[in-house]
Structure 1
Amino acid sequence: MTEETPGFEEKPDVPSGATSDDAEPAAAPAEGAAPAGDANDAQLAGLTAQLDQVRTALGERTADLQRLQAEYQNYRRRVERDRVTVKEIAVANLLTELLPVLDDIGRAREHGELLGGFKSVAESLETVAAKLGLQQFGKEGEPFDPTIHEALMHSYAPDVTETTCVAILQPGYRIGERTIRPARVAVAEPQPGAAPAKAEEGSEAGDDKDDSPEKG
């Protein structure tokens, strides 16, 4: 009868070169688990969707910024235009108040009374007005233009072919293209029924040819 040594148990025989892991059966994959390739595709799809959302938001913010920039540029142009308009109106109002003084200076110059210190002051005032953009207009002999001339006297003259300014009673003034006072003038029109001078000259030349003797 064989006696067993107490405290020792028999172990199954393990082939040489085999590890303990080989002795245990491999764990079976969990039921229902998705393959690794499908998980990567799902993750990539999620990242792509997030990227599309970011791009959409970026496009919207860029459009908002461009719209705000355009509105700001329009606002600046409008403010600048209004500022220039207000300045022109203020200058025009100031110079309009000075026109009677400039008229007095002009009359004094015509009568030879612009002398001494008064002459220096008058010339300085005219220089300042010119720097502010004030321009005088109105000359004798120029055609009458109702947009810049105001006819105070009217007559007929045989030596004019159209309504003409024959005397400047009060000069006109403008600032740029804006007329602040029309030139007040005396005008002359052609005599009623009078033929134009060129037509008369042409008819006289024709009469001379008719009266000339024919060459035999």
Structure 2
Amino acid sequence: MSDENAAQGETPETELPETETPEVDPVEALRTENADLKDKLLRTIAEMENLRKRNERDVADTRSYAIAGFARDMLSATDALNRALLVIPQDAREAADGTLKSLIEGIELAERETQRLLAKHGVKQIESAGRKFDPHKHQAMFEVPNTEVPEGTVVQVVQEGFEIGERVLRPAMVGVAKGGPAAAPAANGAEGVDKSA
């Protein structure tokens, strides 16, 4: 028979030794699978919690800042009312009677009401006068030589600034002190400092 197998081009059957496949402990396999599934579950729960917190933050931001564009537009209307009041001299206001007095009072009322409504929705005026210049809240329009206040102090407000929550709607346009007490040591000139560089 082996001659027939050789004649037909078949190799004689040789038995290969059986390789032992390590037996997998079914309990250990289930423990591994259980640990893997538990890890995936914990990661999914953490991702869902992060998503929930992010959504809550987005909703809170939307509530707080949704009117930012409208409020910014309303500031120009408030500015116009304020400029209308500034144009009328104080003595003309006091001497006004009849229709002119009613007009002045109407403009004042409209300006106060606009400010009240903006404040009701979280828009507040940035306190600037007498404070240290903050580039995040102020826009410096000019410097004022003033040795009576520290350098970098806001000494004049050209246009009021406003913020909503933590965001600036419009920076305050200000004049900033230059040459005050904070600059005094530099003005005296420290010895050994090369200022030509």
**TM-score interval w.r.t. the shorter chain?**
0.5 to 0.7
The question of whether the paired residues in 2 share the 8 Å contact of 1:144 and 1:165 is answered with: yes
Residue pairs, 1:43-122, within 5 angstroms: 54-108=30-84, 115-116=105-106, 118-122=107-111
Number of aligned pairs? 146
- The residue number in structure 2 matching 1:168 is 157
- Whether 2:150 is the aligned partner of 1:187: answer no
**Inter-partner Cα distance in structure 1 for 2:73 and 2:81:** 14
**Residue 66 of structure 2: SS of its match in structure 1?**
helix
**Inter-partner Cα distance in structure 2 for 1:149 and 1:107:** 21
The CA deviation string for residues 26-56 of structure 1, in whole angstroms up to 9 with x for no partner, is xxxxxxxxxxxxxxxxxxxxxxx65555555
| Structure 2: runs of 5+ lacking an equivalent | 1-24, 94-102, 189-197
Compute the displacement of 1:159 (Å): 2.4
TM-score, normalisation: structure 1: 0.53
The question of whether the paired residues in 2 share the 8 Å contact of 1:155 and 1:189 is answered with: yes
**Inter-partner Cα distance in structure 2 for 1:181 and 1:122:** 18
C-alpha RMSD of the superposition: 3.2
- The residue number in structure 1 matching 2:139 is 150
Give the 3 Å change call, closer, same or farther, for CA 186–53 of structure 1 in structure 2. Answer: closer
Which of the numbers 111, 132, 136 marks the counterpart of 2:125?
136
Residue pairs, 1:12-27, within 5 angstroms: none
Give the 3 Å change call, closer, same or farther, for CA 68–108 of structure 1 in structure 2. Answer: same
Give the 3 Å change call, closer, same or farther, for CA 154–58 of structure 1 in structure 2. Answer: closer
Give the 3 Å change call, closer, same or farther, for CA 135–50 of structure 1 in structure 2. Answer: same
Identity of aligned residues (%): 33
**Residue 174 of structure 1: SS of its match in structure 2?**
strand
The question of whether the paired residues in 2 share the 8 Å contact of 1:133 and 1:175 is answered with: yes
TM-score, normalisation: structure 2: 0.58
| Structure 1: runs of 5+ lacking an equivalent | 1-48, 200-216
The one-letter amino acid of 1:73's match is: E
The question of whether the paired residues in 2 share the 8 Å contact of 1:105 and 1:114 is answered with: no
- The residue number in structure 2 matching 1:14 is none
